[in-house]
Amino acid sequence: MSLADKILAVNNDLPIRTNSPVHSGKVRSVYWLTEDDSRRLIKEKEYNVAEDTPLAIMVISDRISAFDCIWHGEGGINGVPGKGAALNAISNHWFKLFREQGLADSHILDIPHPLVWIVQKARPVMIEAICRQYITGSMWRAYDKGERTFCGIELPDNLEKNQKLPEVLITPSTKGVLAGIPGIPAVDDVNVTRKDIVDNFAAFNFTKESDVDLYEKLLKDGFEVISHALAELDQIFVDTKFEFGYVTDVHGQEKLIYMDEVGTPDSSRIWDGPSRRKGKVIEKSKESFRQLLLNHFPDPDILLNKDRMDERQALARDNALPESVLVDISRTYIDIAEKVIGEKITLSDNPKVEIVNILRDEYGLVD
C-alpha cells in the first residue's frame, strides 16, 4: 500500500446520513445529523446535552494548510501522513485534562475513531483568542518595524526576537467579519483590545459582560495547564489560539466551553526545550512548515502579502512539494503527539473504510 493510500485528503464525501450540505473547512468537514438521529444518539449514548441539541460528525483530514492555502506533494500525496490523528489525539488529551482540572467542557461528546468527533452545536464567541508568552512570528515582525502597542497592550523597548515576554499576553482578534462595531473594520482577523470586547460584548456573541472575564480565565488557565504539561516533557509552549462557544446542558443550563482544537501543532507554536537552551529554535509545530515554504520559494513576499493572494493560491496549486518535505512534517506532528499522549500513533491503512464501518455498525448513521 502506498503512502498516498494512508492519507485522508478528501473528507467531505462520506455516506453519512444528513439533510444539510457538508461544511468543509481547511482541515475538517462537518456533517450535521438529522434531527431524528441527533435525538436518538443523545438518548442511546446518554450525552450530557439538551434532548433537542443538534449534533454533527466532524471528520478531520490529513490536509495541510499554511498561509491560507492547501499544499500538496509529489506522487499524489495530498496531505501529511498521520497529521489528522495526531491533531485529534493532542486535542483529546488537553480537553480531557481541562475537564479533570475543572476548567470547562468542550464541544466533543464522543470519539468513534481517531479521525472523528461527534460534537454538539455551539454558539461561537466571535474571537480568535491568542495567548503568547514569547515574542515571535507576526508579533515580532511588527515589533521589529517599530510597533509597540498590541491589542491595547504596551510592550517595552529593547525586546529581542524569541524572547520570553514579561507576562503571558492575550492578543485577541475577530473571528469572521463583524459589522457595526465602533472602531473595528468589518474584515476578518482584526486585532481588538479588551476594551473593544467589553464595550461590545453582545456583538462578539457573549451572553453577558462578566463572561469576558470568564473567557480570559479559561484562556489563561488552559494555557497554563498545557504549558506546565509540555514543560514536563521539556517542550516550550510559545503561543496558541483558543476558541470558545456556548452550549446548553441536559438541565437546560447555558455554559461557556472550549471549541475547535487546543494546544496542537496547527494552532500553537511549540519549541524543543534542549535545542532552545543551546540557543537554537527547533519548531515542533506547523511553524516549521511555514518557515520551509518561506525558504523554498524565491519570493517569500507572495506568502506574507495579503494583496498577492491570487499569486499565492497559484503557487500552492502549481507546485507539488517533494515527498520528503511532507514525510518530515509528518514526523514533527507524530513525534509531538506521541510525547503528549504517551502512546504510539497508529496510522490506518484505509481510514475512510474504517470510519464508514464504525459509523454504520456502532452509530447507525450510514444507510
Mind listing the pLDDT tens digit of every residue in the chain (367 residues)? 566 778 999 999 999 999 999 999 999 999 999 999 999 999 999 999 999 999 999 999 999 999 999 999 998 899 999 999 999 999 999 999 999 999 999 999 999 999 999 999 999 999 999 999 999 988 999 999 999 999 999 999 999 999 999 999 999 999 989 998 998 999 888 999 999 999 999 999 999 999 999 999 999 999 999 999 999 999 999 999 999 999 998 888 999 999 999 999 999 999 999 999 999 999 999 989 999 999 999 999 999 998 999 999 999 999 999 999 999 999 999 999 999 999 999 888 889 999 999 999 999 999 8
Contacts 24+ apart (CB under 8 A), 68-73: 68/309, 68/312, 69/312, 69/313, 69/315, 69/316, 70/26, 70/316, 71/293, 71/316, 71/321, 72/316, 72/320, 72/321, 73/320, 73/321, 73/322, 73/323, 73/325, 73/326
- 335 touches 284 (CB < 8 A): yes
Do 110 and 229 meet the contact criterion of CB atoms below 8 Å apart? Answer: no
Query: Distance between CA atoms of 28 and 280, rounded to whole angstroms?
Result: 33
Q: Cα angle vertex 123, ends 121, 125, to 5°?
A: 135
User: 200-217 burial, b if ≥16 CB within 10 A, otherwise e?
Assistant: bbebbbbeeeebbeebbe
Q: Return the residue matching grid coordinates 473593544.
A: 196
pLDDT at 34: 98
Query: What's residue 2's pLDDT?
Result: 67
**According to the model, what pLDDT value does residue 1 have?**
57
- Whole-angstrom CA distances from 345 to 53, 115, 117, 294, 322 are 32, 12, 17, 29, 24
- H or E element in which residue 364 lies: none
pLDDT at site 139? 93
Instruction: Read off the amino acid at residue 151.
Output: C
Kindly state the cell numbers that stand for 330.
509528518
- CA pseudo-torsion sign 10, 16, 22, 25: negative
Give the integer Cα–Cα distance in Å for 113 and 88.
10
Phi, psi of 245 (to 5 degrees): -160, 175
Q: Are 233 and 98 in contact (CB under 8 A)?
A: no
According to DSSP, residue 61 is labeled -
* Those residues with Cβ within 8 angstroms of residue 21's Cβ, 6 or more apart along the chain or in another chain: none
Domains of the chain, each with CATH number or no CATH: 3-122+341-361 (3.30.200.20), 123-277 (3.30.470.20)
- Contact indicator for 41, 55 with CB cutoff of 8 Å: yes
